[in-house]
Structure 1
Amino acid sequence: MNGSYQISKRFKEVILNGTLIANTNYKDQLAGTSWELAVSRVDTLNSIAILSQHIHYYIRGVKEVFKGGTLNIRDKDSFDFPPVQSQLQWDTFLATFWNDAAEFANLIEQMPEERLKQVFVDEKYGDYEQNINVMIEHSFYHLGQIVLLKKLLSRRAK
């Protein structure tokens, strides 16, 4: 199997359908989660909604580069989202998240092997492969936070 397929599979593992590494994924954790739980806070920690939107922000931004666009995302803006105020808003966000993640994975899978080693936007950002791997690792990091927040919030509700 080629490298593009393998890295796409790793990305899908954390976001859409995997259980090999963390025994869960974003879709498993977020599907069926109420918007009230998603926006609930534990002290000063980010909410499940904010963490999910944060990961989606990067997926959407990098996806645009994969499609030939420019890199328009900034770290300073990556936690700045309007509050989710209804189940409909939450469900709409999740549907967009899953669609963008599936498209992102498809773009990776179709990426020629030689592109994986090409500079991503600017040399300071490394190559495409490095950026995709960082996206995967970053996603696992926040997935762990989401799992812990759900446990803490479910204990609080009892």
Structure 2
Amino acid sequence: MTRNLTIANRIREVLLDGHWIANTNYKEQILNVNWQQAIQKVDGLNTIAALTYHINYYLAGLLDAFENGKLEISDKYSFDLPQIHSEADWNKIVTDFLNNSEKFASQVEQMDDNNFDQPFIDNTYGSYLRNIEGVIEHSYYHLGQISLIRKMIMLT
């Protein structure tokens, strides 16, 4: 299997359909909470909605960068979650996340294997591979948080 397929499968594993590493994935976690649970604060932790938005912010930003060759996102905006007042608001965030997850995996799947070793936008960001693997690692980190927060909410 080529790198592009291997990496795209890893992306889908954490975001959409896998169980190998964490025995769950984002799709499974976020489709099993309603909007009130998604915005429920547990102690000083981020909400499930905020973490979902946060990962999607980076997916959308990198998809734009793949397309236009410019990285125009900033960490300081990555938690600027819009207000959620209804199930429809939460469903929009979930739908955007799931769509961007599949688009991101598909973009990686279509990459030429040689691109993974090329600088990503600017040499200071490292290679495409480093940034894509960073998305996977970052996603697993926050998936663990979502999973724990969800369990804590279900216990209350």
Letter in 2 for 1:75: D
Kindly provide the CA deviation profile for residues 18-54 of structure 1, in whole angstroms up to 9, marking residues without a partner as x. Answer: 0011110000001131000000001121100000000
Letter in 1 for 2:16: L
Shift of 1:69: 4.1
Q: TM-score, normalised by structure 2?
A: 0.97
Letter in 2 for 1:73: I
Matched, 1:116 2:116: yes
Matched, 1:153 2:127: no
Matched, 1:144 2:144: yes
1:2 alignment counterpart: 2
1:132 alignment counterpart: 132
Letter in 2 for 1:70: K
Task: Quote the RMSD (CA, aligned, Å).
Answer: 0.9
Q: Which runs of 5+ in 2 are unaligned?
A: none
Q: What is the CA–CA distance in structure 1 between the aligned matches of 2:39 and 2:118, rounded to whole Å?
A: 39
Q: What is the CA–CA distance in structure 2 between the aligned matches of 1:19 and 1:68, rounded to whole Å?
A: 33
1:43 alignment counterpart: 43
Q: What is the CA–CA distance in structure 1 between the aligned matches of 2:3 and 2:68, rounded to whole Å?
A: 21
Q: What is the CA–CA distance in structure 1 between the aligned matches of 2:38 and 2:126, rounded to whole Å?
A: 34
Letter in 2 for 1:57: Y
Kindly provide the CA deviation profile for residues 76-102 of structure 1, in whole angstroms up to 9, marking residues without a partner as x. Answer: 111112221110011111111111110
Percent identity, aligned pairs only, is: 44
Kindly provide the CA deviation profile for residues 69-125 of structure 1, in whole angstroms up to 9, marking residues without a partner as x. Answer: 421110111111222111001111111111111011000000001111110011111
Matched, 1:107 2:117: no
More moved, 75-84 vs 33-42: 75-84
Hey, which bits of structure 1, 4+ residues long, moved more than 6 A?
A: none
Q: What is the CA–CA distance in structure 2 between the aligned matches of 1:67 and 1:10, rounded to whole Å?
A: 21
Q: TM-score, normalised by structure 1?
A: 0.96
1:60 alignment counterpart: 60
The 8 Å contact of residues 69 and 121 in structure 2, kept in 1 or not, is answered as no
1:31 alignment counterpart: 31
Q: What is the CA–CA distance in structure 1 between the aligned matches of 2:105 and 2:57, rounded to whole Å?
A: 15
The 8 Å contact of residues 48 and 149 in structure 2, kept in 1 or not, is answered as yes
More moved, 75-84 vs 36-45: 75-84
Letter in 1 for 2:62: V
